[in-house]
Amino acid sequence: MTHPTVGHPAGLPDDPRADVTAPTPECPVEITLAALHGRWTTLVIRELLRGDHSYSELRAALPVMSDKVLSDRLAHLTRAGVVDRDRRPSWPPRVRYTLTPNGHRLGPVLQALWDWGAYGEEPRSTGDDPVGLRELPVHPKADGAARC
Amino acid sequence: MTHPTVGHPAGLPDDPRADVTAPTPECPVEITLAALHGRWTTLVIRELLRGDHSYSELRAALPVMSDKVLSDRLAHLTRAGVVDRDRRPSWPPRVRYTLTPNGHRLGPVLQALWDWGAYGEEPRSTGDDPVGLRELPVHPKADGAARC
DNA sequence: CAGCATCCATTCAGATACTG
DNA sequence: CAGTATCTGAATGGATGCTG
């Protein structure tokens, strides 16, 4: 064990990456943060969690984002194995962007991010929770988990 | 409902923030990403999840990080309500950094980030999982969840 | 339709040096 | 011990204009 602390209860796997002393590309947390990296990235993923889109549909859904940033994000997410790009050799060109299985697995991740940020707020349509312990309900469909 | 899609099963709260078309500071996902923002941030949080530390203990645990970045991160995390700073008026000055309750709640968030990044890898000491479906076990202690 | 090229302002992190 | 001040280079994102 590289760093025997309370973080390492006996019997659990001690992944050396859990003890890195610098941000390395091998650390799973860094891998995920790298995939989500950049402004607008989570919004693009949210749109794709709702279903596949063409480039112009994404642009319409996120009108403030510039073309440069949108194509940057799509290229980045494609390289990260999150997004799949379907080029249809036709005229006008048709391209459909879809999430890979790995991309769909980001649903729970975005849900966890949402939950932390939404914690302790006043409830809405779901009903009251005076204790302030309310979390947004985890949707049965993993896809429903991703919001923004 | 602002944007009736598959993302919004009937009966679930439809938070308008789930449909923002730009990265706003009110979106819970953005809030969390803002808290985690910056290189080294998750590593600082990991160290504090293991227990409270002094400034120099953090510096020793993360030796490559510069003083400037460390104090930047601690200030940022303090502003974000993740870290608590205990100044002891003595000589030499003693300061202890601890996680707030909110900070501890980042444990599951880091676990979700870890899980996505670690997915599909070969298992280690826990035993084999030929199917490749292994996830790192969720620790009983929420704190143990955070690694890097 | 689906983009890439270019330019520019801003932010960020690392290095170095200094202080209550 | 526990930081802050300053500088610099690199990375980022937004605006604009052009192409297969």
Residue with CA nearest C1' of nucleotide C12: B38
Q: What is the pLDDT of residue A35?
A: 98
Looking at per-residue confidence, does A14 or A16 come out higher?
A16
Mean pLDDT computed over every residue of chain B: 81
| High-pLDDT (> 70) share of chain B, % | 72
Q: What is the pLDDT of residue B148?
A: 65
Which chain A residues are closer than 8 Å to B33 by Cβ? Answer: 36, 42, 113
Q: Please compute the mean of the pLDDT values over residues B128-148 and round it to a whole number.
A: 42
Min Cα–Cα distance to chain B from A129, Å: 14
How do residues B50-75 score in pLDDT, each as one tens digit?
999 999 999 999 999 999 999 999 99
Q: Please compute the mean of the pLDDT values over residues B67-95 and round it to a whole number.
A: 95
Q: Please compute the mean of the pLDDT values over residues A70-87 and round it to a whole number.
A: 97
How do residues B107-120 score in pLDDT, each as one tens digit?
999 999 999 999 98
Q: Please compute the mean of the pLDDT values over residues A104-119 and round it to a whole number.
A: 96
Report which DSSP code applies to B62.
S
DSSP calls for A6-55? TTS-TTS---GGGG-SS--TTSHHHHHHHHH-STTHHHHHHHHHT--EEH
Query: What would the CATH number be for the domain defined by B28-117+130-135?
Result: 1.10.10.10
Q: Please compute the mean of the pLDDT values over residues A49-73 and round it to a whole number.
A: 96
Q: Which amino acid is at A100?
A: T
